[in-house]
Structure 1
Amino acid sequence: MTEERIDGSGGAGEAIELLRELIREGCVNDGTPSSGQEIRNVRVLQRFLADAIALGRIETQVLESAPGRASLVARVRGTDPDAPALGLLGHLDVVPVDPDGWTRNPFGGELIDGEVWGRGAVDMLYLTAAFACVLREVALAPRPPRGDLVLLAVADEEAGSDLGMHWLVREHPEAVRVTEALSESGGMRMGRHVAIEVAEKGSAGRRLVVRGKPGHASIPFGATSAAYRMGEVLQRLEAVMPAAQLGELWNAFVDARIDDSELAERLRDPVRLDAALPQLGGIAGYAHAVSRITISPTVVRAGAAHNVIPGSASIDLDIRTLPGTSDEEVDELIAAVLGPLADEVEIRRLRGWAATGSRSDTPLFAAIKRAIAEVADAPTVPIMAAGGSDARVLRELGIPAYGFGLLAPGWSYERYREGVHGNDERIDLTSIELSMAALRSIVSERIG
């Protein structure tokens, strides 16, 4: 395979080249304060927008929450103060890679067989590039838009947004002021439908601490290893699954994705749902995740020296919650799962946030539906995301925010999930072109 040249078909040539540049900067966020260094991708965007900035068509601010942890806010002012201020929310950081799992350079940004390869190609640099391109087009148009168009190209999404959107809305609320927004986690195909994220689960991390009686490992009699207790807790967590709780988006997902009427009927029944999951193939993991609270042990700790029987052990749990779930309900659920072990386990609360959602009857969502119908001749289905994104920060402020995109017909939800944080991440040019076309339509309707 040899690297290709692009011809800019579909009006997406600039977005494709910009995506490749963003990938090459390798703004890897491993969760430590000094990682990410998103200032490099901020500089890429500043260079791309330089002509419109020089003409005074775009107002920009570079805001650093810590050295190198920079976000770019670029605003095109509208003429009507009562018109919407549409935010295009994209992040600049990417997750780490395992180079041994890649068949090409994960930070090469290579264009091979109609696909751009590299970490962040899907999550979500292709959209950040598309957002920047449409912003520039609007800025350089013969007449200004009615409403503001705002690019929020932010840091630290991959590590929870403390140095990105959370910091921005706290420290610079006026700079990031929007009335509605588009972000990531949309555009994948659910049967004939295009999925648009309107909600996402919450997070309620917990640490379970169990106690034993320490002693010298050479004389174990009389000691009680906390590692054994930890094993009992882990077995209980594996054996007990939280029950299904089918929310308002569940039927829409089943209608869009499941053609077999008998299977669809079983999936709508909380009692029969779990037995039907194995028939769903690659979408089963998503169906399981969005139909209940999930509990995943992720970090276990016990002991510090090989010759000391540990007197304490801990298990960290990644818990993803449904809308309306309180911290008290999470603790009650854990106690119920632990059953007879509950009195022996201390539950400590870790960082978390509530599930968030936006209504699907807003003018912005209507514009999304019309754009997708126009560009792809496809209906739209609102979905809940199992993971998290920066959109929740805006939703917490009461601002409608949707996971956007319009991927090519071959991009099922399963393919999308394989690309996000996976090896050999890449995005095809058709998906970039379709997303650009739909985005232009939405922007024109909302603030044009």
Structure 2
Amino acid sequence: MTSTLPDLSTLQDETLRFAQELIRIPTVNTGDPRTIGDGEARAARYLQSLLEEVGYETEYAESAPGRGNLLARLRGSDPDRGALLVHAHLDVVPAAADDWTHPPFGGELHDGFLYGRGALDMKGFAGVLVAIARHFARSRTRPRRDLVFAFFADEEAGGVFGVRWLLRHRPHWFDGVTEAISEVGGFSVPLGAQRAYLVATAEKGIGRLVLTARGTAGHGSRPTADNAVTRIARAVDAIGSHTFPVIPTPAVEAFAERATALLGERVDLSTIDQHPDLLGTAGPLVAAALRNTVSPTIIQGGYKSNVIPGEARAEFDVRVLPGQEDALRREVEALLEPGIDIEWDRWVHPIEAPSSGPLLDVMAVAIAAEDEQGVVVPYLMPASTDNKHLASAGIAGYGFTPLRTDADFDAFGHFHAVDERVPVDALAFCAWVTERILRDA
């Protein structure tokens, strides 16, 4: 790696400006292509202009009208090292403006915070990446490995018009890539006297379970022994009240080992979800990573109060740990009475990358350079990101967008929330740390 003296003040200023401008471009993803406009295309074209302004060659691709994706590659000094993909998604979930203190698409600054839909998820990090790419171009920095800067559409609805489309139609975008960095992780949480910056080395898989019960239809005045509504209600209760066992995974065990050392007391995975306060704001997140979960979300049956329907159905949100897909199916099906139709649908497999290695070592050094009390701690992320789709191409994905925040700021809690916001100084911290990581990885 070679570079001139870095201009971190410009890096910081541009990070904030680009994040604000991205928030002001509404890129709302409703999940329904008929209601999605051209926001992702506008956001990608905006970033394209910023990158080409400092000399990058970019590639732009629309998977459908208005669904823009963007890539730029910076060649490293060692072509034999695998390329590192750093990526952010440009779409955001909807926001009801009347519920917000400040306009969700205003990108406004108030009391040291940048407010707006996407401030954390994840236009703030998109601003960081473009600012770093421009900084490297101006300072003629040549990193050790190829860096691939990518900005994707449609993450919030499963990546159909983003990463999944690109893997089929633009596979060369990922040539030589072995590892990736994106959401969700890097937010500081207090553990003992230290600040732990959690890196997601694994993610739960996701899916949908649909159950259908059938029975004899008839008049409500003549009860039937095989009432479909009653049968589906028993099935929902059986699954909804079931306690799935704690299943330690490598990522969770690595977290427990580091947390035990930092806290000076043993973190017992078998009971930690009963005592989440021990881990502060990280407690609920870790608790959600200990078990498979199957949550009832929809129940349907009948169309008139005096008619016994012949069919009733229920849907469940499924989150499964790495290596547990077949076991989870067997465990759930054993809870059901005979005659219930079972459909496992929309299955996205869990992923797990190594919980130690050179890239995590670089992250740890970069954090320590900016925060002497900071340590990097692996964890399992109980939700889903674009890294899942990249795993199908053999790319090991990590969630690490480093933010140093006050102990009472729950960054995870601001995802998809009203008044989503990020501390301005934390965004600058993210730019400084990420710049070190990308230089030295």
TM (normalized to structure 2)? 0.89
Q: Are 2:27 and 1:45 equivalent residues in the alignment?
A: no
Amino acid at match of 1:40: R
- Does structure 2 retain, via aligned residues, the 8 Å contact 1:277–1:288? yes
SS in 1 for 2:33: coil
1:292 aligned partner = 291
User: Within 2, Cα distance between the matches of 1:233 and 1:224?
Assistant: 13
1:118 aligned partner = 116
- Does structure 1 retain, via aligned residues, the 8 Å contact 2:197–2:377? yes
User: Within 2, Cα distance between the matches of 1:145 and 1:284?
Assistant: 36
User: Within 2, Cα distance between the matches of 1:111 and 1:278?
Assistant: 32
- Does structure 1 retain, via aligned residues, the 8 Å contact 2:252–2:378? no
Matches within 5 A, 1:19-34: 19-34=19-34
* Cα distance, 1:280–1:429 mapped onto 2, change above 3 Å: closer
Amino acid at match of 1:75: R
Matches within 5 A, 1:94-173: 94-142=92-140, 144-145=142-143, 147-173=145-171
* Cα distance, 1:233–1:143 mapped onto 2, change above 3 Å: closer
* Cα distance, 1:438–1:36 mapped onto 2, change above 3 Å: farther
User: Within 1, Cα distance between the matches of 2:148 and 2:438?
Assistant: 11
* Cα distance, 1:306–1:152 mapped onto 2, change above 3 Å: farther
How far residue 33 of structure 1 moved from its aligned partner, in angstroms, is: 2.1
- For residue 385 of structure 2, the aligned residue among 383, 389, 403 is 389
* Cα distance, 1:181–1:311 mapped onto 2, change above 3 Å: same
Q: Deviations 1:34-60 (Å, cap 9, x if unpaired)?
A: 4263112112212322412xxxx3121
- Does structure 1 retain, via aligned residues, the 8 Å contact 2:254–2:355? no
Which moved further from structure 2: 355-364 or 420-429?
355-364
Which moved further from structure 2: 76-85 or 86-95?
76-85
Which moved further from structure 2: 370-379 or 176-185?
176-185
- Does structure 2 retain, via aligned residues, the 8 Å contact 1:152–1:176? no
Q: Deviations 1:167-213 (Å, cap 9, x if unpaired)?
A: 11121111233232211112122322211111111113211111122
How far residue 85 of structure 1 moved from its aligned partner, in angstroms, is: 1.9
User: Within 1, Cα distance between the matches of 2:434 and 2:248?
Assistant: 32
- Does structure 2 retain, via aligned residues, the 8 Å contact 1:295–1:320? yes
Q: Are 2:405 and 1:403 equivalent residues in the alignment?
A: no
Matches within 5 A, 1:288-327: 288-326=287-325
- Does structure 1 retain, via aligned residues, the 8 Å contact 2:11–2:131? no
How far residue 390 of structure 1 moved from its aligned partner, in angstroms, is: 0.8
Q: Are 2:71 and 1:76 equivalent residues in the alignment?
A: no
User: Within 1, Cα distance between the matches of 2:242 and 2:338?
Assistant: 17
TM (normalized to structure 1)? 0.88
User: Within 2, Cα distance between the matches of 1:280 and 1:22?
Assistant: 34
User: Within 1, Cα distance between the matches of 2:289 and 2:144?
Assistant: 38
- For residue 200 of structure 2, the aligned residue among 194, 197, 202 is 197
- For residue 240 of structure 2, the aligned residue among 229, 238, 241 is 238
Which moved further from structure 2: 201-210 or 253-262?
253-262
SS in 2 for 1:422: coil
How far residue 153 of structure 1 moved from its aligned partner, in angstroms, is: 0.1
How far residue 260 of structure 1 moved from its aligned partner, in angstroms, is: 6.6
1:372 aligned partner = 367
* Cα distance, 1:331–1:25 mapped onto 2, change above 3 Å: same
Q: What do you get for the CA RMSD once the two structures are aligned?
A: 2.4
1:5 aligned partner = none
* Cα distance, 1:373–1:281 mapped onto 2, change above 3 Å: closer
Q: Which runs of 5+ in 1 are unaligned?
A: 1-7
SS in 2 for 1:132: helix
Q: Deviations 1:89-110 (Å, cap 9, x if unpaired)?
A: 1000001123333111111110
- Does structure 2 retain, via aligned residues, the 8 Å contact 1:325–1:354? no
SS in 1 for 2:63: strand
User: Within 2, Cα distance between the matches of 1:150 and 1:27?
Assistant: 23
* Cα distance, 1:63–1:10 mapped onto 2, change above 3 Å: closer
Q: Deviations 1:248-294 (Å, cap 9, x if unpaired)?
A: 233443355567766x45x23x3x45544577665443233111101
- Does structure 1 retain, via aligned residues, the 8 Å contact 2:362–2:437? yes
User: Within 2, Cα distance between the matches of 1:440 and 1:278?
Assistant: 33
Q: Are 2:417 and 1:415 equivalent residues in the alignment?
A: no
1:186 aligned partner = 185
User: Within 2, Cα distance between the matches of 1:61 and 1:67?
Assistant: 16
Q: Are 2:209 and 1:211 equivalent residues in the alignment?
A: no
User: Within 2, Cα distance between the matches of 1:199 and 1:172?
Assistant: 26
Which moved further from structure 2: 306-315 or 76-85?
76-85
Amino acid at match of 1:287: V
1:3 aligned partner = none
Q: Are 2:441 and 1:430 equivalent residues in the alignment?
A: no
User: Within 1, Cα distance between the matches of 2:134 and 2:263?
Assistant: 46
* Cα distance, 1:176–1:304 mapped onto 2, change above 3 Å: farther
* Cα distance, 1:195–1:319 mapped onto 2, change above 3 Å: same
Q: Which runs of 5+ in 2 are unaligned?
A: 1-7
How far residue 389 of structure 1 moved from its aligned partner, in angstroms, is: 0.5
